[in-house]
Amino acid sequence: MSESDFFDLSIIIAFWLMIAASLLTFARLVLGPTLPDRVLSLDMLMTLAIGFIAIFTLLTGVYAYLDMAIALGLVGFLATIAFARFILNQASCPEIIDETKDYKQTAKDAGSSE
């Protein structure tokens, strides 16, 4: 196998691995169960997006995409910090933080009101 063949193949393999990783991360985003879990998987999706941009840069040879990766890293970092502040501010409302708690709470409330 020649050098450029190996390179093209490795780009394809990396793409498939990254697609699998994004699907698994997306599963965690859907499953939850708490808000920090979801924020964490959003953060992970941002990291994966940077990886995708890196692969795409090598695939096309257009190095201007690299700026996008840096900008995405900055914005994603700020977004995670903002979410962390939000979680901290919502500490008094457990139903926003944890969905499973919410279901139990409402079930109990419904049970007690009957």
Partner 1 sequence: MINYITGALLIIGALFNLIAAIGLLRFPDVFTRMHAASKAGTLGSGLMLVAIALHAGELSISSKALAAVVFFLITAPVSAHLLARAAYVAGVEPWKGTVLDQLKGHYTDKEGHLSADDETSD
Smallest separation (angstroms) from partner 1 to the CB of 57:
6
CB closer to partner 1, 5 vs 114: 5
The pair of three-digit structure tokens given for residue 55, joined into one six-digit string? 């692969």
CB closer to partner 1, 88 vs 110: 88
- The answer to whether the beta carbons of residues 29 and 42 sit under 8 Å apart is yes
- The answer to whether the beta carbons of residues 62 and 55 sit under 8 Å apart is no
Cβ density class 81-101: b for 16+ within 10 Å, e for less? eebeeeeeeeeeeeebebeee
Chain centre to alpha carbon of residue 87: 17
Q: What does the alpha-carbon distance between residue 101 and residue 93 come to, in Å, rounded to a whole number?
A: 11
Smallest separation (angstroms) from partner 1 to the CB of 107:
18
CB closer to partner 1, 11 vs 107: 11
Q: Which residues bind partner 1 (CB under 8 A)?
A: 3-4, 6-7, 9-11, 13-15, 17-18, 20-25, 27-28, 34-37, 39-41, 43-44, 47-48, 50-51, 54-55, 57-58, 63, 66-67, 69-70, 73-74, 77, 80-81, 83-85, 87-88, 90-92, 94, 97-98
